[in-house]
Amino acid sequence: MPKHFLTIPDIPKDEVLQVILRAKEMKDNKVRTDLLAGRTLLLIFEKASTRTRVSFEVGVRQLGGDPVFIAARDSQLGRSEPLKDTARVLSRYADGLIVRTFGQEKLETLVEYGDIPVVNALTDEYHPCQIMADVLTMYERTPDLASLKVAWVGDGNNMAHSFINGSAAFGYELALACPEGYEPDAAILDAAVNRGAKVTLTRDPAVAVSGAHYVNTDVWASMGQEEEQKKREAAFAGYEVNDALMAKGASDVKFMHCLPAHRGEEVSEAVFESPASIVWDQAENRLHAQKAILEWIYK
Protein backbone atom coordinates (compact mmCIF):
# COMPACT_ATOMS: atom_id res chain seq x y z
CA MET A 1 0.00 0.00 0.00
CA PRO A 2 1.37 3.45 -0.88
CA LYS A 3 2.04 6.02 1.81
CA HIS A 4 0.11 9.29 1.62
CA PHE A 5 0.54 12.67 3.29
CA LEU A 6 -2.86 14.33 3.56
CA THR A 7 -2.49 15.61 7.14
CA ILE A 8 0.30 15.63 9.72
CA PRO A 9 -1.09 12.59 11.62
CA ASP A 10 -0.45 10.49 8.49
CA ILE A 11 3.16 10.33 9.67
CA PRO A 12 3.28 8.15 12.81
CA LYS A 13 4.06 10.10 15.96
CA ASP A 14 7.27 8.14 16.52
CA GLU A 15 8.50 9.08 13.03
CA VAL A 16 7.38 12.66 12.52
CA LEU A 17 10.29 14.32 14.36
CA GLN A 18 12.70 12.19 12.33
CA VAL A 19 11.25 13.74 9.18
CA ILE A 20 12.05 17.19 10.59
CA LEU A 21 15.57 16.09 11.52
CA ARG A 22 16.08 14.70 8.03
CA ALA A 23 14.86 17.97 6.51
CA LYS A 24 17.43 19.83 8.63
CA GLU A 25 20.15 17.44 7.47
CA MET A 26 19.11 17.88 3.85
CA LYS A 27 19.23 21.65 4.24
CA ASP A 28 22.57 21.76 6.04
CA ASN A 29 24.29 19.38 3.62
CA LYS A 30 22.56 20.47 0.40
CA VAL A 31 21.48 16.87 -0.08
CA ARG A 32 20.71 15.62 -3.60
CA THR A 33 19.74 12.00 -4.20
CA ASP A 34 18.48 9.69 -6.95
CA LEU A 35 15.60 8.39 -4.80
CA LEU A 36 13.01 9.41 -7.39
CA ALA A 37 15.06 8.48 -10.45
CA GLY A 38 12.75 7.07 -13.09
CA ARG A 39 9.67 8.36 -11.26
CA THR A 40 7.25 11.04 -12.45
CA LEU A 41 5.23 13.09 -9.95
CA LEU A 42 2.23 15.08 -11.15
CA LEU A 43 1.63 18.50 -9.58
CA ILE A 44 -2.10 19.15 -9.98
CA PHE A 45 -2.94 22.69 -8.86
CA GLU A 46 -6.51 23.98 -8.83
CA LYS A 47 -5.27 26.90 -6.71
CA ALA A 48 -2.50 29.17 -7.96
CA SER A 49 0.82 29.16 -6.13
CA THR A 50 4.37 30.47 -6.23
CA ARG A 51 6.21 28.90 -3.28
CA THR A 52 4.36 25.59 -3.32
CA ARG A 53 4.85 24.96 -7.02
CA VAL A 54 8.49 26.03 -7.18
CA SER A 55 9.53 24.27 -3.97
CA PHE A 56 7.93 21.00 -5.04
CA GLU A 57 9.26 21.12 -8.60
CA VAL A 58 12.78 21.89 -7.37
CA GLY A 59 12.52 19.31 -4.59
CA VAL A 60 11.38 16.51 -6.92
CA ARG A 61 14.27 17.30 -9.26
CA GLN A 62 16.77 17.37 -6.39
CA LEU A 63 15.63 13.85 -5.53
CA GLY A 64 16.17 12.75 -9.13
CA GLY A 65 12.53 12.70 -10.24
CA ASP A 66 10.53 14.36 -12.99
CA PRO A 67 7.76 16.80 -11.98
CA VAL A 68 4.90 17.48 -14.39
CA PHE A 69 2.74 20.52 -13.62
CA ILE A 70 -0.98 20.52 -14.45
CA ALA A 71 -2.92 23.76 -13.95
CA ALA A 72 -6.64 23.91 -13.15
CA ARG A 73 -7.57 24.74 -16.74
CA ASP A 74 -5.76 21.63 -17.95
CA SER A 75 -7.21 19.22 -15.37
CA GLN A 76 -10.38 17.16 -15.18
CA LEU A 77 -10.13 17.22 -11.38
CA GLY A 78 -13.78 17.06 -10.35
CA ARG A 79 -15.15 18.54 -13.60
CA SER A 80 -16.79 16.53 -16.38
CA GLU A 81 -14.96 13.30 -15.52
CA PRO A 82 -15.71 11.61 -12.19
CA LEU A 83 -12.77 12.12 -9.88
CA LYS A 84 -12.53 8.39 -9.19
CA ASP A 85 -11.94 7.84 -12.91
CA THR A 86 -9.21 10.48 -12.98
CA ALA A 87 -7.53 8.77 -10.03
CA ARG A 88 -7.46 5.41 -11.77
CA VAL A 89 -6.14 6.85 -15.03
CA LEU A 90 -3.38 8.94 -13.43
CA SER A 91 -2.23 5.92 -11.44
CA ARG A 92 -1.39 4.28 -14.79
CA TYR A 93 0.78 7.24 -15.88
CA ALA A 94 2.63 8.54 -12.84
CA ASP A 95 4.26 7.56 -9.56
CA GLY A 96 2.66 10.15 -7.31
CA LEU A 97 0.25 13.09 -7.09
CA ILE A 98 0.97 16.42 -5.39
CA VAL A 99 -2.36 18.19 -5.25
CA ARG A 100 -3.33 21.77 -4.34
CA THR A 101 -7.11 22.01 -4.36
CA PHE A 102 -10.22 23.07 -2.47
CA GLY A 103 -11.97 20.28 -0.57
CA GLN A 104 -10.06 17.64 1.40
CA GLU A 105 -12.54 15.07 0.09
CA LYS A 106 -10.93 15.33 -3.35
CA LEU A 107 -7.65 14.04 -1.96
CA GLU A 108 -9.46 11.26 -0.13
CA THR A 109 -11.11 10.18 -3.38
CA LEU A 110 -7.75 10.16 -5.16
CA VAL A 111 -6.39 7.94 -2.40
CA GLU A 112 -9.40 5.61 -2.45
CA TYR A 113 -9.46 4.99 -6.18
CA GLY A 114 -5.81 5.42 -7.11
CA ASP A 115 -2.84 3.30 -6.15
CA ILE A 116 -0.03 5.88 -6.02
CA PRO A 117 1.00 8.25 -3.20
CA VAL A 118 -0.96 11.48 -2.77
CA VAL A 119 0.53 14.58 -1.11
CA ASN A 120 -1.59 17.46 0.17
CA ALA A 121 -0.05 20.66 -1.17
CA LEU A 122 -3.00 22.62 0.33
CA THR A 123 -6.74 22.23 0.78
CA ASP A 124 -9.33 24.42 2.45
CA GLU A 125 -9.08 22.19 5.53
CA TYR A 126 -5.32 21.61 5.92
CA HIS A 127 -1.88 22.87 4.87
CA PRO A 128 0.41 20.21 6.36
CA CYS A 129 3.50 20.80 4.20
CA GLN A 130 3.60 24.42 5.33
CA ILE A 131 3.40 23.44 8.99
CA MET A 132 6.19 20.89 8.60
CA ALA A 133 8.33 23.71 7.18
CA ASP A 134 7.26 25.97 10.04
CA VAL A 135 8.19 23.35 12.62
CA LEU A 136 11.58 22.98 10.94
CA THR A 137 11.99 26.76 11.18
CA MET A 138 11.19 26.72 14.89
CA TYR A 139 13.36 23.66 15.51
CA GLU A 140 16.38 25.43 14.03
CA ARG A 141 16.11 28.01 16.81
CA THR A 142 14.52 25.94 19.58
CA PRO A 143 15.19 22.20 19.28
CA ASP A 144 13.08 21.48 22.37
CA LEU A 145 9.76 21.91 20.58
CA ALA A 146 7.76 20.78 23.61
CA SER A 147 9.03 23.82 25.55
CA LEU A 148 7.49 26.29 23.12
CA LYS A 149 4.39 28.41 23.23
CA VAL A 150 3.16 29.12 19.71
CA ALA A 151 0.49 31.77 19.09
CA TRP A 152 -1.92 31.89 16.19
CA VAL A 153 -3.73 35.21 15.57
CA GLY A 154 -6.53 35.33 13.02
CA ASP A 155 -8.73 32.96 11.08
CA GLY A 156 -9.24 29.39 12.27
CA ASN A 157 -8.40 28.20 8.78
CA ASN A 158 -6.38 25.40 7.17
CA MET A 159 -3.18 26.78 8.68
CA ALA A 160 -4.73 26.87 12.15
CA HIS A 161 -5.98 23.30 11.72
CA SER A 162 -2.52 22.08 10.76
CA PHE A 163 -0.89 23.97 13.64
CA ILE A 164 -3.38 22.20 15.91
CA ASN A 165 -2.33 18.85 14.46
CA GLY A 166 1.29 19.92 14.87
CA SER A 167 0.77 20.45 18.59
CA ALA A 168 -0.29 16.82 18.94
CA ALA A 169 2.68 15.64 16.87
CA PHE A 170 5.46 17.83 18.31
CA GLY A 171 4.24 18.78 21.78
CA TYR A 172 4.30 22.58 21.61
CA GLU A 173 1.62 24.62 23.36
CA LEU A 174 -0.67 26.39 20.91
CA ALA A 175 -2.78 29.44 21.76
CA LEU A 176 -5.25 30.58 19.12
CA ALA A 177 -6.95 33.98 19.04
CA CYS A 178 -9.85 33.95 16.59
CA PRO A 179 -12.85 36.28 16.20
CA GLU A 180 -16.32 34.94 16.88
CA GLY A 181 -17.50 32.89 13.93
CA TYR A 182 -13.98 32.23 12.66
CA GLU A 183 -12.88 29.54 15.11
CA PRO A 184 -11.17 26.35 13.95
CA ASP A 185 -13.34 23.33 13.18
CA ALA A 186 -14.42 21.81 16.50
CA ALA A 187 -14.09 18.22 15.26
CA ILE A 188 -10.51 18.81 14.12
CA LEU A 189 -9.67 20.47 17.43
CA ASP A 190 -11.26 17.72 19.52
CA ALA A 191 -9.53 14.95 17.57
CA ALA A 192 -6.14 16.62 18.02
CA VAL A 193 -6.69 17.16 21.74
CA ASN A 194 -7.50 13.46 22.03
CA ARG A 195 -4.10 12.76 20.43
CA GLY A 196 -2.38 15.00 22.99
CA ALA A 197 -2.53 18.50 21.49
CA LYS A 198 -2.14 21.33 24.02
CA VAL A 199 -4.46 24.01 22.66
CA THR A 200 -6.26 27.02 24.11
CA LEU A 201 -8.73 29.21 22.26
CA THR A 202 -9.43 32.88 23.03
CA ARG A 203 -10.91 35.96 21.39
CA ASP A 204 -8.09 38.19 22.70
CA PRO A 205 -4.86 38.31 20.66
CA ALA A 206 -2.99 39.72 23.67
CA VAL A 207 -3.86 36.63 25.71
CA ALA A 208 -2.74 34.27 22.96
CA VAL A 209 0.56 36.11 22.38
CA SER A 210 1.41 36.58 26.06
CA GLY A 211 4.73 34.79 26.61
CA ALA A 212 4.69 33.22 23.14
CA HIS A 213 7.97 32.31 21.46
CA TYR A 214 6.50 32.34 17.94
CA VAL A 215 3.58 34.41 16.64
CA ASN A 216 1.84 33.25 13.46
CA THR A 217 -0.84 34.76 11.30
CA ASP A 218 -2.31 34.53 7.79
CA VAL A 219 -4.31 36.67 5.41
CA TRP A 220 -7.83 37.44 6.56
CA ALA A 221 -9.43 36.38 3.26
CA SER A 222 -7.79 33.33 1.70
CA MET A 223 -7.98 32.26 -1.93
CA GLY A 224 -11.62 31.75 -2.85
CA GLN A 225 -12.83 34.10 -0.08
CA GLU A 226 -12.16 37.39 -1.86
CA GLU A 227 -15.84 38.33 -1.90
CA GLU A 228 -15.77 38.26 1.92
CA GLN A 229 -12.90 40.76 2.16
CA LYS A 230 -14.88 43.70 3.58
CA LYS A 231 -16.82 41.51 6.01
CA ARG A 232 -13.62 39.91 7.22
CA GLU A 233 -11.85 43.26 7.60
CA ALA A 234 -14.58 44.25 10.05
CA ALA A 235 -14.50 40.93 11.90
CA PHE A 236 -10.70 40.94 12.22
CA ALA A 237 -10.31 44.54 13.35
CA GLY A 238 -7.92 44.43 16.31
CA TYR A 239 -6.22 41.24 15.09
CA GLU A 240 -3.27 42.88 13.35
CA VAL A 241 0.10 41.60 14.54
CA ASN A 242 1.93 44.86 15.30
CA ASP A 243 4.70 46.06 17.57
CA ALA A 244 2.37 46.44 20.56
CA LEU A 245 1.14 42.86 20.22
CA MET A 246 4.61 41.41 19.64
CA ALA A 247 5.80 43.15 22.82
CA LYS A 248 3.56 40.81 24.82
CA GLY A 249 5.50 37.77 23.61
CA ALA A 250 8.70 36.29 25.02
CA SER A 251 11.83 38.43 24.97
CA ASP A 252 13.08 36.66 21.83
CA VAL A 253 9.67 36.29 20.16
CA LYS A 254 9.69 35.64 16.40
CA PHE A 255 7.10 36.45 13.75
CA MET A 256 6.01 33.87 11.18
CA HIS A 257 3.75 34.01 8.11
CA CYS A 258 3.09 31.44 5.37
CA LEU A 259 2.97 34.19 2.71
CA PRO A 260 1.83 36.05 0.74
CA ALA A 261 1.25 38.73 3.38
CA HIS A 262 -1.05 41.74 3.29
CA ARG A 263 0.92 44.39 5.14
CA GLY A 264 -1.36 46.75 7.00
CA GLU A 265 -4.00 44.04 7.49
CA GLU A 266 -2.97 40.91 9.41
CA VAL A 267 0.56 42.23 10.02
CA SER A 268 2.12 45.67 10.17
CA GLU A 269 4.95 46.65 7.85
CA ALA A 270 7.15 47.28 10.90
CA VAL A 271 6.75 43.73 12.24
CA PHE A 272 7.00 42.08 8.84
CA GLU A 273 10.32 43.81 8.10
CA SER A 274 11.67 43.60 11.64
CA PRO A 275 14.58 41.43 12.85
CA ALA A 276 11.96 39.29 14.62
CA SER A 277 10.50 38.25 11.26
CA ILE A 278 11.67 34.83 10.05
CA VAL A 279 9.29 34.52 7.10
CA TRP A 280 12.06 34.00 4.53
CA ASP A 281 13.48 31.07 6.47
CA GLN A 282 9.98 29.60 6.50
CA ALA A 283 9.67 30.03 2.75
CA GLU A 284 13.04 28.36 2.12
CA ASN A 285 12.20 25.53 4.48
CA ARG A 286 9.24 24.48 2.33
CA LEU A 287 11.82 22.97 -0.03
CA HIS A 288 13.68 21.02 2.63
CA ALA A 289 10.62 19.83 4.56
CA GLN A 290 8.91 18.62 1.39
CA LYS A 291 12.01 16.75 0.26
CA ALA A 292 12.03 14.96 3.61
CA ILE A 293 8.33 14.16 3.30
CA LEU A 294 8.86 12.72 -0.18
CA GLU A 295 11.76 10.67 1.13
CA TRP A 296 9.54 9.35 3.94
CA ILE A 297 6.95 8.31 1.33
CA TYR A 298 9.25 6.70 -1.23
CA LYS A 299 12.21 5.34 0.74
Is 218 labeled as catalytic in the residue annotation?
Answer: yes
Whole-angstrom distance, CA of residue 279 vs CA of residue 259: 8
Q: Is 178 annotated as a binding residue?
A: no
Q: Which of 134, 258, 282, 290 is catalytic?
A: 258
Q: Which of 22, 39, 257, 286 is catalytic?
A: 286
Q: Is the bond preceding residue 260 a cis peptide, omega within 30 degrees?
A: yes
Helix (H, G, I), strand (E, B) or coil at 5: strand
Q: Is 95 annotated as a binding residue?
A: no
Give the chain's largest Cα–Cα span: 55
Is 286 labeled as catalytic in the residue annotation?
Answer: yes
Q: Is 51 annotated as a binding residue?
A: yes
Q: Which of 22, 39, 53, 127 is catalytic?
A: 127
Q: Which residues contact 48 (CB under 8 A, 6 or more apart)?
A: 223
Q: Is 43 annotated as a binding residue?
A: no
Q: Is 62 annotated as a binding residue?
A: no
Picking from 121, 83, 115, the residue whose alpha carbon sits closest to that of residue 289 is 121
Q: Is 61 annotated as a binding residue?
A: no
Q: Which of 4, 22, 100, 288 is catalytic?
A: 100
Q: Is 258 annotated as a binding residue?
A: yes
Is 127 labeled as catalytic in the residue annotation?
Answer: yes
Decide if 271 contacts 243 (C-beta within 8 A): yes
Could you write out the DSSP letters of every residue in 10-57? Answer: GS-HHHHHHHHHHHHHHHHTT----TTTT-EEEEEESS--SHHHHHHH
Is 229 labeled as catalytic in the residue annotation?
Answer: no
Q: Is 142 annotated as a binding residue?
A: no
Q: Is 223 annotated as a binding residue?
A: yes
Q: Is 213 annotated as a binding residue?
A: no
The helix-helix angle for 128-141 and 13-28 (nearest 10°) equals: 70
Q: Which of 10, 134, 155, 218 is catalytic?
A: 218
Is 258 labeled as catalytic in the residue annotation?
Answer: yes
Which residue numbers belong to the known binding site? 49-52, 76, 100, 127-130, 158, 218, 222-223, 258-259, 286
* Catalytic center residues: 100, 127, 130, 218, 258, 286
Which residues are documented as binding site for L-ornithine?
A: 158, 218, 222-223
Output the known binding site for carbamoyl phosphate.
Answer: 49-52, 76, 100, 127-130, 258-259, 286
